[in-house]
Amino acid sequence: MSFFKKLKDKFSGSQEQEQTTEKYTEGLKKTRSGFSEKMNNLFARYRKIDEDFFEELEEILIGADVGFDTVMELIDELKLEVKRQNTNEPEAIREIITEKFVDIYAGDDEMSSELNIQDTGLTVILFVGVNGVGKTTTIGKLAHQFKTEGKKVMLAAGDTFRAGAIEQLEVWGERTGVDVIKQTEGSDPAAVMYDAVRAAKSRGADILLCDTAGRLQNKVNLMNELQKVKRVIEREVPEAPHEVLLVVDATTGQNALIQAKTFKEATDVSGIVLTKLDGTAKGGIALAIRKELGVPVKFVGLGEKMDDLQPFDAEKYAYGLFAQAFEQKESESADETAE
């Protein structure tokens, strides 16, 4: 049984699996349409695997924002696989590419995509990232998900510098039915966090989601502010924050990777939330972030709806990225068999 067929069968096991698979397939439509077309053209034009074939494949992958280092490693592994199988037929490595994508993400058991939610007591999750990446929206959607799971959630309006940021978080608080701890615009973010953690503990909250500033006068100021916020939280809840999630916009491509590197240097980023994946034709950035930063993508934004923010799943990601190409191939094979 082919690797792709195994994935397809695996995801058809339950209604929930099928629904989330559909979200990935739909959310990656823009990436897949351009990516699959280029891949299909590549496989159609080459009768044998040679250096020209690998060079074009390299260009396609880099063009999808997979990342230079990741692409080079992937190409090297494909070349070894071609030698191992003693083949020069392009179709022989079509599925191997998909398997390698999954391996890049799911191959490291220590790199978990699951959130570090505490069994007892308060879990504090800090969100960082530049303005405009969808940080506040991500917080609102996660608040909704946690509340749906029966958890008591609170929000901390720590972005006190951006005009309208507090009000935006309050709108999400009203929409999801959770309390928002805030101060006035321009207040000390660390003071807001202090109030929020104390309030969350006294009210018996399970999860506190903390918004932070995305821009101050310069990068040094921003990073110093984030460090100060973390120290205040840690004083009130030892070992907190339990997660520091960096929110990046997938549509910015390599800029997202640069942002991730910058924040990782200054804060203990434990995971990435990759937003607006449905709005880009270069969805390979998830692989670049995982491979080049050693930080797992924990959530992906696959649409505008409340439940379109999904936990990252490497197999569903690969399936969503390659589905069109494989289904077309299966259809062609079925037609040939019928003839």
Strands 207-211 and 153-157: parallel
3-state SS track over 273-327: EEECHHHCCCCCHHHHHHHHHCCCEEEEECCCCHHHEEECCHHHHHHHHHHHHHH
d(CA 22, CA 16): 10
* pLDDT attached to residue 152: 97
Report d(CA 282, CA 315) in Å as an integer: 18
> Is 88 labelled a binding residue?
no
pLDDT at 87: 84
Tell me: is residue 135 an annotated ligand-binding position: yes
Query: Is 133 known to sit in a ligand binding site?
Result: yes
Is position 116 annotated in a ligand binding site?
A: no
The response to whether 293 counts as a known ligand-binding position is no
Among 124, 138, 149, CA closest to 172: 138
Q: Is 313 annotated as a binding residue?
A: no
Is 320 annotated to bind ligand?
no
Residues contacting 78, CB < 8 A, separation 6+ = 54, 57, 93, 96, 97, 100
Question: What pLDDT does residue 283 have?
Answer: 80
What is the three-class DSSP state of 211? strand
Residue 132 in marked binding region: yes
Q: List, in sequence order, every residue forming a beta bridge with 275; answer none if it has no partner.
A: 249
Residues 270, 119, 20, CA angle at the centre, nearest 5°? 65
Tell me: is residue 86 an annotated ligand-binding position: no
Q: Which domains does the chain have, with CATH numbers?
A: 15-110+317-338 (1.20.120.140), 123-314 (3.40.50.300)
Which residue from 300, 220, 210 is spatially nearest to 262, judged by alpha carbons? Answer: 220
192 is an annotated ligand-binding site residue: no
Contact 203, 154 (CB under 8 A): yes
136 annotated among ligand-binding-site residues: yes
Residue 212 assigned as binding residue = yes
Q: Are 238 and 262 in contact (CB under 8 A)?
A: no
Question: 181 phi and psi, to 5 degrees?
Answer: -95, 125
Question: 213 labelled as ligand-binding?
Answer: yes
Q: Does residue 241 have a cis peptide bond before it, meaning omega lies within 30 degrees of 0?
A: yes
Q: Length of the chain, please?
A: 339
Residue 277 annotated as lining a ligand binding site: yes
Angstrom CA distances, 226 to 78, 214, 267, stand at 42, 10, 7
Query: Is 100 a known ligand-binding residue?
Result: no
DSSP secondary structure, 239-257, as one string: T--SEEEEEEEGGGTHHHH
Whose tokens are 């924040």? That residue is: 263
Question: Using CA atoms, how far apart are residues 132 and 134, in angstroms rounded to an integer?
Answer: 6
Per residue of the chain (339 residues), what is the pLDDT tens digit?
A: 566 677 777 777 778 888 888 888 888 888 877 777 888 889 889 989 999 999 999 999 888 888 888 889 889 988 998 888 888 888 778 778 777 777 776 665 556 778 999 999 999 999 999 888 999 999 999 999 999 999 999 999 999 988 899 999 999 999 999 999 999 999 999 999 999 999 999 999 999 999 998 875 567 787 888 889 999 999 999 999 999 999 999 888 888 888 888 888 777 899 999 999 888 877 888 878 877 788 889 999 998 888 899 999 888 887 787 766 666 555 555 555 555
